[in-house]
């Protein structure tokens, strides 16, 4: 999203006023704006994408990099030029043949100047493109053999890669362009190591890496990476990160330590590698329809997880406050089986349409009483239930597993059991992070002190321990670690160094403790809710969606289609050795496009 350029919006054009001139590709787009990636339809040419190496300078002009040519030799010096500066020079293509020492092989060179392509003597060339990729955007650079594709189809291909849904099982493409790893890393989907170190702990939710390079004493010597587990994206798809490292692995700064959605071992993996046949099949792949094998559905090849969010608010009404509770009038025990004592569904419950997620009752207005109610009132002397059931139920068409529940309380309102349980869990997680950091800090600090004290001359030991002469590792083993700071050394400089180490250790410890307390305080504070709302509960349900007829599928070259039928494996065409194909596409979809 951050690489999109729009001519619409405040101070810009409107769709009706933008003529053909504005939308068309211009020679100055070269290396700045992608000529391929733009939407089809009314916005064509008005919304564009930044090219791969382009950047915006401080005046708001887009610049693109070139390699400088000095004395006929192509250097590795890279200079960014804006469109205005570029007009003064002759610029050669990236694939121009060069000799071993970086000079042009041929006398005459194809070069650009003022938007024209000329053939000029090699002495006139001032710059050379840095890469053939610099002309296109990142999405177009992910298309293999882009140079052989038709422009309109490449446009569809680069746009449809953005519509890919993250799959349950990712699979890196067999044929790629080398941009996959770069995109996965720079988009932030995959997690990279901040510092060089050793993996100390790994589980599904976090990775603890102990930094090994000489660390800055003020910073902690440990990096904790918390992984996103089954979080909802804005498109309701599932964001899930998986660790790739094991305990004891050495990692360098910048190495991939965890995969994100749609990445496979640090490579962008939007789709699957399947066996495709190009042939007609009983008319089921007529006009861009796609025929699928049942194996694809059975093996969850194209299965994705979607996360739906449902929320319910308990307000303060005129007749009294609404209440989130398990006691709901006229509802059987069977319907409440998934709720805890606070009336909120537990995590991991399998829910179907119509199931209660959060029990809620609303006070009813005083309606005129029927004689029977009057009789009941007279006998039991209490109000027969004057509340109605306004629980949050799962809407039709959604069934899945509850993966997360969040409870928000207004400041000053008593928290229920569930809210307290969630808070306790979060505090435990924070405490675990703090304890791990403390343990590693202890290990590092005491290790450093141990190495520092060994073979230093001692003047005396801490209380109850005698020390004379040079300190040995055996001496230190007999003394508890926390007492090492009290060892008296005979050298003034060494005493000062030990004192500095102690101070640094205490400060780091205090910093960790304060950070933990700040986070806990923030947790317990209470939430800002809209006026009149006492409490809000959000429930996230994960739904597993398999591919079905009517779904759209596409390749990277604009070859898109709709699934028309899913047939049993035994009815699919097969190869000589009996291998059944997974997908049957129409051969007529290729030549005219």
Q: What average pLDDT does this structure show over 204-221?
A: 77
Average pLDDT over residues 584-589: 93
Domains 166-268 and 304-412+527-545 share a fold: yes
| Class in CATH terms, 304-412+527-545 | mainly beta
CATH of domain 4-141: 2.30.150.10
Q: Which residues contact 122 (CB under 8 A, 6 or more apart)?
A: 72, 104, 106, 107, 108, 109
pLDDT computed for residue 14 by the predictor: 86
Paired tokens of 80: 């960014």
Higher pLDDT among residues 355 and 523, named by residue:
355
pLDDT of res. 144: 94
Q: Where in the chain are the domains?
A: 4-141, 166-268, 304-412+527-545, 423-524
**pLDDT digits 0-9 by tens, 283-298:** 999 999 999 999 999 9
- 294-345: per-residue pLDDT in tens? 999 999 999 999 999 999 999 988 878 888 988 888 888 898 999 988 899 9
C-alpha span between 104 and 97 (Å, rounded): 6
Residue 368 has pLDDT above 80, yes or no: no
Least confident of 1-5, 103-107, 151-155, 348-352: 1-5
The answer to whether residue 431 scores a pLDDT higher than 80 is yes
- For residue range 14-70, what is the model confidence (pLDDT) as tens digits? 888 888 888 999 999 999 999 999 999 889 999 999 999 999 999 999 999 999 999
Q: If you classify domain 166-268 with CATH, what class do you get?
A: mainly beta
Burial class, 569, CB count within 10 angstroms (exposed 0-12 / middle 13-18 / buried 19+): middle
Whether residue 384 is predicted with pLDDT greater than 60 in this model: the reply is no
Reading the block at residue 19, the tokens are 């003529």
Q: Band the pLDDT of 215: cuts 50, 70, 90.
A: low
The Cα–Cα gap between 446 and 484 comes to: 9
Q: Which two tokens stand for residue 442?
A: 């202890």
């Amino acid at each position: 999203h951050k690489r999109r350029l729009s001519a619409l919006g405040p101070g810009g054009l409107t769709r009706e006023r933008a003529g053909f001139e504005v939308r068309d590709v211009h020679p100055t787009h070269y290396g700045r704006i992608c000529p391929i990636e733009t939407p089809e339809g009314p916005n064509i040419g008005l919304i564009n994408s930044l090219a791969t190496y382009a950047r915006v300078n401080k005046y708001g002009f887009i610049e693109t990099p070139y390699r400088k040519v000095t004395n006929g030799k192509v250097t590795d010096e890279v200079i960014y030029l804006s469109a205005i500066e570029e007009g003064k020079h002759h610029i050669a293509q990236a694939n121009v043949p060069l000799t071993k020492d970086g000079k042009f092989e041929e006398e005459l060179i194809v070069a650009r100047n003022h938007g024209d392509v000329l053939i000029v003597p090699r002495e006139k060339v001032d710059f050379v493109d840095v890469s053939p990729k610099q002309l296109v955007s990142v999405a177009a650079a992910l298309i293999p053999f882009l140079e052989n594709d038709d422009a309109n189809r490449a446009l569809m291909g680069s746009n449809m890669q953005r519509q890919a849904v993250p799959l349950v099982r990712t699979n890196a493409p067999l044929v790629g362009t080398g941009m996959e790893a770069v995109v996965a890393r720079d988009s932030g989907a995959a997690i990279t190591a901040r510092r060089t170190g050793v993996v100390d702990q790994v589980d599904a939710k976090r990775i603890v890496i102990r930094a090994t390079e000489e660390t800055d004493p003020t910073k902690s010597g440990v990096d904790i990476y918390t992984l996103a587990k089954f979080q909802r994206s804005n498109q309701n798809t599932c964001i899930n990160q998986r660790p790739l490292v094991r305990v004891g692995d050495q990692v360098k700064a910048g190495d991939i330590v965890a995969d994100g959605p749609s990445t496979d071992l640090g490579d962008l993996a939007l789709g699957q590698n399947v066996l495709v046949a190009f042939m007609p099949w009983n008319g089921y792949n007529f006009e861009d329809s796609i025929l699928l094998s049942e194996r694809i559905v059975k093996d969850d090849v194209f299965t994705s997880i979607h996360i739906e969010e449902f929320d319910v608010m308990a307000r303060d009404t005129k007749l009294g406050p609404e209440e989130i509770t398990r006691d709901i009038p006229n509802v059987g025990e069977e319907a409440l089986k998934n709720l805890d004592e606070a009336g909120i569904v537990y995590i991991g419950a399998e829910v179907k349409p119509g199931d209660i997620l959060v029990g809620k009752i609303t006070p009813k207005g005083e309606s005129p009483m029927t004689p029977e109610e009057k009789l009941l009132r007279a006998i039991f002397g209490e109000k027969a239930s004057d509340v109605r059931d306004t629980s949050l139920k799962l809407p039709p068409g959604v069934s899945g597993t509850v993966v997360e529940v969040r409870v928000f309380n207004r400041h000053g309102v008593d928290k229920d059991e569930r809210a307290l349980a969630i808070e306790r869990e979060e505090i435990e997680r924070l405490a675990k992070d703090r304890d791990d950091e403390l343990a590693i800090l202890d290990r590092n600090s005491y290790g450093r002190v141990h190495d520092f004290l060994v073979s230093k001359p001692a003047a005396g030991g801490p209380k109850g321990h005698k020390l004379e002469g040079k300190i040995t590792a055996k001496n230190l083993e007999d003394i508890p670690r926390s007492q090492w700071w009290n060892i008296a050394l005979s050298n003034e400089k060494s005493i000062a160094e030990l004192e500095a180490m102690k101070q640094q250790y205490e400060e780091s410890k205090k910093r960790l403790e304060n950070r933990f307390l700040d986070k806990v305080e923030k947790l317990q504070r209470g939430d800002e809710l809209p006026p009149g709302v006492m409490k809000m509960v959000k429930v996230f349900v994960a739904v597993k969606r398999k591919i079905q007829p009517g779904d759209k599928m596409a390749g990277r070259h604009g070859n898109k289609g709709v699934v028309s039928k899913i047939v049993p494996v035994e009815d699919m065409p097969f190869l000589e050795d009996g291998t059944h194909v997974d997908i049957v596409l129409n051969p007529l979809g290729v030549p005219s496009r």
